[in-house]
Structure 1
Amino acid sequence: MSKAKRGWRQGFTLYTALLPMLLTVVFAYLGTIAWSLKISLTASRTFPSDQFVGLAQYVRLFANERWQVSLEHLAVFGLLFIIACLVIGFLLAVFIDQNVRGEGILRAIFLYPYALSFVATGLVWQWMLNPTLGLQETVRQLGFPNFEFDWLVNQDKVIYTVVIASVWQASGVVMALFLAGLRGVDEDIWKAARIDGIPRWRVYFSIVLPMLAPTFATVFVLLWVAVIKLYDAVVAMTQGGPGDASEVPAKFIMDHLFGRANIGLASAGSIVLLLSVLALLAPIAYARNHAKERA
């Protein structure tokens, strides 16, 4: 068999194996995105409609007070969640990178929350933070009757309970990504730093952190996508309450899609969230391609 014919067969086999994934991307992802975009430009409510209304659904969306409140909550959650996960995840990675005993057990412990469904663990957090059943009542029974931790029912602080629970779940996978990056740092750098008497913290800030810039970018994108997708933690812990104090865009979309039978407005909300993710990915992709061209 000639090399050309053998190469053609190998290529045909490769593309045949990739065909199911290609069809999934085209129909399950791109197809549904195109369908949602079309519905968001129509007057669809309970059922899809072909009545074109332009950007009217988007105007209604941003005029909706509940949507505006959900965006404010998402901004607060996103800022605190991303910063906390980056800091905690990096510190955990640095700790484990010191060749501590029981490294495998520690990694499993830190990664375990990420493997759990937040629908289940969210209920546990709800019980723990319940003022009449959880932490507050336990501390009071220990002899501190004036202790208060009622954030779960406090409209001004309930969003912070979602942040705490979400950081608990996600910081482990951030640790794993940073640990992989730290393990890629050349050991000669540490040897040279010890010979020159450079403090270890200075090596991390001046040398290691710049080297981990691609890892930071990857982690940031993953965390940002998690912020945009925030839904299960809110539903499991607060149901968006008390009132609308923990309302988020994803819950707004799901409520209007299934509860209020307004698929046009829900589709407009989903397209807005998609655009926010693309707005983040586009500059990062451009920067990486530009760096490759310069290299």
Structure 2
Amino acid sequence: MAQPTAQPDFKTRLQNWIPKLVLSPSVAMVFVFVYGFIIFTVYLSFTDSRMLPSFGWVGFENYDKLFRLSHWTIALKNLAIFASLYIIICTVIGLALAIFLDQKIRGEGVLRPIYLYPMALSFIVTGTAWKWLLDPGIGLEHTMHLWGWTSFQFDWIKNRDYAIYTVVLAAVWQTSGFVMAMFLAGLRGIDNEILKAAQMDGASNWNLYRRIIIPQLRPAFLSAFVILSHLAIKSYDLVIALTGGGPGRATELPATFMYSYTFSRNQMGIGASSAVIMLMTIAAIMIPYLYAELKEGK
């Protein structure tokens, strides 16, 4: 005859419930202030909200207005330039630094934190520092003139045609070390026996990296792409601190467009619709990545 299972006593039940009770306020706040406000923003994008939220339903009118605005078109073009260069350069530099450190060089313990240090700074600090460095009146150009190279000119931050590339420079400087850390973790996770076997078969270093090592870094490449794409799409503070979106609208990005139309131009409906477009773009990147990760984990 089966013995009845013993019921947990009060103390055991309390120990099981305490973590849930402690975490429940945080979970509730996340649902309200993250997911709740996402839903509210989506709703506002279909209303005639201007300076304050309104509940007059206008359907897709805000989205139609948004894609007919030249400012939004400029922001999308700038994002395409910034994101493509940012992702490619960060990936190349991060991989090169990881391969360099993976050679078991002397002083790796010193170099690794130096490469990672910029990521510890906020984008506001990075933007301000690079603004001083690139300002022709007080930065690099001025210093070179003081040293005697009076013909030296580097005024990209004031030039409409090149200002967006200064944002790329600052963003790459801040994030390359983080990408390096991801690739270095991937390199250190490769089975050395496979590499030794390939070397015994006469594989050169070039073929070793091209045919064995780099293909096995596919998860690191994918993770780097997702993270860098996310950072590029929501870039706001770096642009504001570095260029303020200027000169003119030369460095306007969707994030700065959303802020200006919502809080400066009192067009909350259009600002919300631009935020929804950004959310959909990030979701289009994140959902396939999460699906692939979950599918691979089964």
Instruction: Quickly name the TM-score band, shorter chain normalised.
Output: over 0.9
Q: What are the ranges of 5 or more consecutive residues in structure 1 without an aligned counterpart?
A: none
Q: What are the ranges of 5 or more consecutive residues in structure 2 without an aligned counterpart?
A: none
| 1:48 alignment partner, one of 50, 53, 57 | 53
**In 1, Cα distance between equivalents of 2:191 and 2:225:** 24
Q: Percent identity?
A: 43
Instruction: State the partner residue of 2:36.
Output: 31
**In 1, Cα distance between equivalents of 2:7 and 2:220:** 40
| 1:91 alignment partner, one of 96, 107, 110 | 96
- Provide the aligned C-alpha RMSD in A: 2.0
Select between 82-91 and 12-21 the one with higher mean Cα deviation: 12-21
Query: Does structure 1 conserve the Cα–Cα contact (< 8 Å) formed by 2:102 and 2:188?
Result: yes
Deviations 1:174-223 (A, max 9, x none): 11111111111111122223322211222122112221111211111110
Instruction: Give the SS at the match of 1:172.
Output: helix
Partner AA of 1:116 in structure 2: L
Partner AA of 2:283 in structure 1: L
Instruction: State the partner residue of 2:218.
Output: 213
| 2:267 alignment partner, one of 258, 262, 267 | 262
Instruction: Give the SS at the match of 2:150.
Output: coil
Pair 1:10–1:196, CA change in 2 (3 A): farther
Select between 242-251 and 119-128 the one with higher mean Cα deviation: 119-128
Instruction: State the partner residue of 1:122.
Output: 127
State how 1:126-145 maps to structure 2 within 5 Å.
126-145=131-150
Partner AA of 1:211 in structure 2: Q
**In 2, Cα distance between equivalents of 1:73 and 1:17:** 45
| 1:197 alignment partner, one of 202, 221, 227 | 202
**In 2, Cα distance between equivalents of 1:25 and 1:260:** 29
Select between 98-107 and 44-53 the one with higher mean Cα deviation: 98-107
Pair 1:118–1:287, CA change in 2 (3 A): closer
Select between 209-218 and 8-17 the one with higher mean Cα deviation: 8-17
Matched, 1:64 2:56: no
Select between 86-95 and 193-202 the one with higher mean Cα deviation: 193-202
TM-score (norm 2): 0.92
Query: Does structure 1 conserve the Cα–Cα contact (< 8 Å) formed by 2:51 and 2:263?
Result: no
Deviations 1:120-154 (A, max 9, x none): 23122111111222212222333332222111111
Select between 143-152 and 52-61 the one with higher mean Cα deviation: 143-152
TM-score (norm 1): 0.92
Pair 1:291–1:130, CA change in 2 (3 A): same
1:76 deviation in Å?
0.2
| 1:166 alignment partner, one of 167, 171, 196 | 171
1:245 deviation in Å?
0.6
Instruction: State the partner residue of 2:159.
Output: 154
Matched, 1:5 2:41: no
**In 1, Cα distance between equivalents of 2:157 and 2:38:** 35
Query: Does structure 1 conserve the Cα–Cα contact (< 8 Å) formed by 2:126 and 2:174?
Result: no
Pair 1:85–1:12, CA change in 2 (3 A): same
Query: How many corresponding residue pairs?
Result: 293
Select between 180-189 and 141-150 the one with higher mean Cα deviation: 141-150
Matched, 1:105 2:106: no
